[in-house]
Chain A
Amino acid sequence: MERTIGLVTLIAVLVAAFALTGSTEPTTLRLTWWGNQTRNDQTIEVIELFEKKNPGYKIKPEYTSWSGYWDRMAAQAAGSNLADIMQQDFKYITQYAESGQIIPLDPYVNKGLNLKDVEDTFIEPGKINGKLYGVNLGANTYVFAYDPAMFAKANVNEPNPDWTWEEYLDTCKKLRKGLKMFADNELGFATNNISGLEHYVRQRGQQIFDPSGKKLGFDPKLFVEFYKMDLDLTKDKVFAPPEVRLEVTSVENNLLVTKKAAMSSVWTNQIVAFNNAAQRPLKMALFPKDKKQVKEGTYLKPSMFFSITKDCKNRNAAVKFIDFFINDVEVNKILKAERGVPISSKVRAAMASELDETGKAMFEIIDLAGKHSSAIDPPPPAAFKQVIDVLNDVHYKMLYKVITLDQGAKEFFDRSNKILAEAL
């Protein structure tokens, strides 16, 4: 009997203790992102800094690799179990916003979420149907990375910001002749990517997608012109053949890195990775201009976003963390612009003095791109990923000569338009 009483008392004490600690429990937020060892470690360091500066808050990190990230997000969304803050991507944000999985942040702008030091061009891309769903984590743009030593060896001039498509093709041919190797993996971002074509289409004042999102929004003639450049120069071995391109699946086996090509199209936030992998100094150049261009093709793109999900209970706390992430100088010194160039002008100015060579080059090219760019197109429709896959499919069929260029254009437009029309 005594033992029973003892046991009951013990349990009562434990329960009370548990209840008490429960009442002083810190505000806990779940934060999820995809990344690699570097990004994971840096982000965790930022979390520790946040917790130190804000006692009473706890951030629980949940990270995976890119390849598993969206599977997990889909399952969590279905179970209403999303993390409070999620890293978002340009390809996915529309779908998440339109389905109500992430919430508009407009009520918090400058009321918790300080965007006073951020230019509009950096805020705009996070808006869907006029509402802000994602806070841009870094400015990004597509450029060419090239090996200046190879250019010198082939006796070819390095590109200037105003070079044209003709000059670009000419440069590639000369590189091939002078170096007896590929000038590039492919025509700038023509493979496995829609950015090259998009650049070309934008220069002519058109858009990949019709504003309705229900069909493609450009002249098929532009498709033919653009891919003709790629196919012609692939035939002359200026660009790598399809079987080689298909093998380029990571930064480390990119042909520029493995010294089989003199240049490669890259995103600016990848330049650190390219420099590390290539182990030789690389430089960056903007994409070419078009003689007939009606506007600049280049645009600044968000590398990724932070969004707050509908499952988040303590939204003010989540906002507080995002605000800290983008505006705190110390944070961004830890992050070293690994997610792209910081969007706050104040942060950029504070970081400028401490940058290494690569960091400086990245800040400079974003600055330069800003001067040679026009506004980004509205976020793509949710069926975007399917359209890219169709493009890829058609492109390789043309490269392997299963279909002609004209057939390719027709197939790309037919299939894409069908997909876009049927998508909800």
Chain B
Amino acid sequence: MRNLLSKIRDTLNNDNLAGYLFISPWLIGFFAFMVIPMGLSLYLSFTRYSVLTPPVWIGLQNYKEIFTADPRFWQALKVTFTYVLGAVPLRLIFALFLAVLFSQKRALVGLYRTMYYIPSLIGGSVAVAVMWRQLFGVYGALNSALIKAGLIETGFGWNTHPKTALLSLIVLAAWQFGSPMLIFLAGLKQIPASLYESAAIDGANWWQTFFKITLPMLSPIIFFNLVMQLINNFMVFTQAYIITGGQPFDRTLVYILYLFQKGFTYSQMGYACALAWILLFIIGVITAFIFKSSAGWVYYESKGDF
């Protein structure tokens, strides 16, 4: 009996079995909820599918049309890349900067963290859309302030003018930097105090400590935030959908908004699936590149060898 128990224990501690046991929740979920839907969406990308009628196989036609005869696809890509290039750095820099400020032990710091985090709790509801329109609208708060200050004479449509509409969405993204900030805070908390103590004994100043200890020790988290922010901002949808709806004339047509229009508004779900798999490929390449590069700048206490 005792023998059997120890045998079971040994088997359970076998690397291969233990590995699969630990990742089994995800693995089972993947096979149960993801494999079929993902496979279906790939299949649908080779069909004409209105959702209301059964799909019809058309081979590569969707892909061909996207690349050769769809100016709105290229417009959506352009808008999305601009958005990502604006929003991701802004969010990460704000998040890191404020996380460092808020990780200090000072009076009121808990209150401050909350104050800066609340905007992100509001998320992308209809209330946010109304709020953003009222703040940056022609008759909104920003314009009233600018007019009072004598900087402009009449209200400017920040959300609606072709030159600034996308900018206004980027500002909204920058405003909601709470999630990466929170992750940075958790990361900062994990850095062993002993490292800072020995740095203090060596007489290192704040900057030296920041670059020699904080940044390297935080690099796995920076890497995580970078990857996730890239993925999430490439897939931005709600904010654009509720605030600008792609207006004016596709100047804020982010990729997923276009995909959504095609799939749901215009009932071209096959085409939308093709768009989705193209986006997967694009983000995949970028993500792979970042993963590759991470060997050079991410420091792990214990690398998990991927």
Contact of A383 with B266 in the complex, beta carbons under 8 Å: yes
Contact of A71 with B48 in the complex, beta carbons under 8 Å: no
Closest residue on chain A to residue B243 by CB atoms: A249
| Distance, CA A28 to CA B239, complexed state (A) | 39
Interfacial chain B residues near A396, Cβ < 8 Å: 247-249
Closest residue on chain A to residue B266 by CB atoms: A386
Closest residue on chain A to residue B156 by CB atoms: A243
Contact of A249 with B133 in the complex, beta carbons under 8 Å: yes
Q: A: which residues have CB within 8 A of B?
A: 70-71, 74, 77-78, 95-96, 99-101, 242-244, 246-247, 249, 258, 260, 382-383, 385-386, 389, 392-394, 396-397, 400, 402, 424
Q: What are 8 A-B residue pairs whose CB atoms fall within 8 Å in the complex?
A: A74-B267, A243-B161, A246-B160, A260-B139, A386-B266, A389-B261, A393-B250, A396-B249
Identify 8 new A-B residue pairs, CB closer than 8 A, beyond the known A246-B248, A389-B265, A424-B50. Answer: A71-B264, A78-B52, A99-B52, A101-B52, A242-B160, A247-B159, A249-B133, A402-B249
Say yes or no: is B157 at the interface (Cβ < 8 Å to chain A): yes
Closest residue on chain B to residue A101 by CB atoms: B52
B166 to A: closest C-beta gap in Å: 14
Interface flags, B229-267, vs A, CB<8A=1, else 0 = 000000000000000000111100000000001001111
Residues from 130 to 188 in B contacting A, C-beta threshold 8 Å:
133, 137-139, 156-157, 159-162
Interfacial chain B residues near A383, Cβ < 8 Å: 266
Contact of A74 with B264 in the complex, beta carbons under 8 Å: yes
Say yes or no: is B93 at the interface (Cβ < 8 Å to chain A): no
Contact of A74 with B250 in the complex, beta carbons under 8 Å: no
| Distance, CA A394 to CA B247, complexed state (A) | 11
Interfacial chain B residues near A393, Cβ < 8 Å: 249-250
Interfacial chain B residues near A400, Cβ < 8 Å: 162, 248-249
A261 to B: closest C-beta gap in Å: 13
Say yes or no: is B38 at the interface (Cβ < 8 Å to chain A): no
Contact of A382 with B248 in the complex, beta carbons under 8 Å: no
B134 to A: closest C-beta gap in Å: 9
Contact of A95 with B249 in the complex, beta carbons under 8 Å: no
Say yes or no: is B51 at the interface (Cβ < 8 Å to chain A): yes
| Distance, CA A77 to CA B139, complexed state (A) | 43
| Distance, CA A78 to CA B52, complexed state (A) | 6
Contact of A247 with B157 in the complex, beta carbons under 8 Å: yes
| Distance, CA A249 to CA B134, complexed state (A) | 12
A396-B248, A397-B249 are contacts. A243–B138 as well, Cβ < 8 Å?
A: yes
Contact of A382 with B162 in the complex, beta carbons under 8 Å: no
Contact of A242 with B52 in the complex, beta carbons under 8 Å: no
A396-B249, A400-B162 are contacts. A243–B50 as well, Cβ < 8 Å?
A: no
A247-B138, A247-B159, A400-B162 are contacts. A78–B264 as well, Cβ < 8 Å?
A: no
Interface centre among A96, A383, A389, by most chain B C-beta atoms within 10 angstroms, is: A389
Closest residue on chain A to residue B53 by CB atoms: A99
| Distance, CA A383 to CA B268, complexed state (A) | 10
| Distance, CA A424 to CA B160, complexed state (A) | 34
Residues from 46 to 71 in B contacting A, C-beta threshold 8 Å:
48, 50-53
Contact of A243 with B249 in the complex, beta carbons under 8 Å: no
Contact of B248 with A244 in the complex, beta carbons under 8 Å: no
Closest residue on chain B to residue A403 by CB atoms: B249
| Distance, CA A77 to CA B53, complexed state (A) | 9
Contact among A77, A389, A392 with B52 in the assembled complex (CB-CB below 8 Å): A77
Interfacial chain A residues near B248, Cβ < 8 Å: 242, 246, 396, 400
Interface size on B, residues (CB 8 A): 24
A69 to B: closest C-beta gap in Å: 11
Contact of A243 with B52 in the complex, beta carbons under 8 Å: no
> Helix, strand, loop or mixed for chain B's interface?
loop
Interfacial chain B residues near A260, Cβ < 8 Å: 139
Contact of B157 with A244 in the complex, beta carbons under 8 Å: yes
Interfacial chain A residues near B48, Cβ < 8 Å: 424
A382 to B: closest C-beta gap in Å: 7
| Distance, CA A394 to CA B248, complexed state (A) | 10
A74-B52, A243-B157 are contacts. A385–B250 as well, Cβ < 8 Å?
A: no
Contact of B159 with A382 in the complex, beta carbons under 8 Å: no
| Distance, CA A101 to CA B54, complexed state (A) | 12
Contact of B138 with A244 in the complex, beta carbons under 8 Å: yes
Interfacial chain B residues near A101, Cβ < 8 Å: 52
Contact among A71, A247, A394 with B160 in the assembled complex (CB-CB below 8 Å): A247
B215 to A: closest C-beta gap in Å: 43
Closest residue on chain B to residue A252 by CB atoms: B130
Interface centre among B133, B139, B267, by most chain A C-beta atoms within 10 angstroms, is: B267
Interfacial chain A residues near B161, Cβ < 8 Å: 243
| Distance, CA A258 to CA B248, complexed state (A) | 23
A99-B52, A99-B53, A382-B267 are contacts. A247–B250 as well, Cβ < 8 Å?
A: no
B242 to A: closest C-beta gap in Å: 9
Contact among A78, A100, A386, A402 with B51 in the assembled complex (CB-CB below 8 Å): A78
Contact among B51, B53, B137, B266 with A247 in the assembled complex (CB-CB below 8 Å): B137
| Distance, CA A100 to CA B52, complexed state (A) | 8
| Distance, CA A392 to CA B247, complexed state (A) | 9
| Distance, CA A99 to CA B248, complexed state (A) | 33
Interfacial chain A residues near B265, Cβ < 8 Å: 70, 385-386, 389
Closest residue on chain B to residue A244 by CB atoms: B138
| Distance, CA A394 to CA B159, complexed state (A) | 19
A128 to B: closest C-beta gap in Å: 14
A216 to B: closest C-beta gap in Å: 17
Interfacial chain A residues near B160, Cβ < 8 Å: 242-244, 246-247
Interfacial chain A residues near B162, Cβ < 8 Å: 400, 402
A70-B264, A243-B161 are contacts. A99–B250 as well, Cβ < 8 Å?
A: no
A95-B52, A101-B52 are contacts. A246–B264 as well, Cβ < 8 Å?
A: no
Closest residue on chain B to residue A74 by CB atoms: B51
| Distance, CA A74 to CA B159, complexed state (A) | 31
Closest residue on chain A to residue B162 by CB atoms: A400
| Distance, CA A242 to CA B248, complexed state (A) | 9
Interfacial chain A residues near B157, Cβ < 8 Å: 242-244, 246-247
A421 to B: closest C-beta gap in Å: 13
| Distance, CA A386 to CA B53, complexed state (A) | 19
Contact of B50 with A95 in the complex, beta carbons under 8 Å: yes
Interfacial chain B residues near A385, Cβ < 8 Å: 265-266
Closest residue on chain A to residue B56 by CB atoms: A424
Residues from 102 to 154 in B contacting A, C-beta threshold 8 Å:
133, 137-139
Interfacial chain B residues near A95, Cβ < 8 Å: 50, 52, 267
Closest residue on chain A to residue B164 by CB atoms: A243
A80 to B: closest C-beta gap in Å: 11
B103 to A: closest C-beta gap in Å: 40
Interfacial chain A residues near B53, Cβ < 8 Å: 99-100
Contact of A96 with B159 in the complex, beta carbons under 8 Å: no
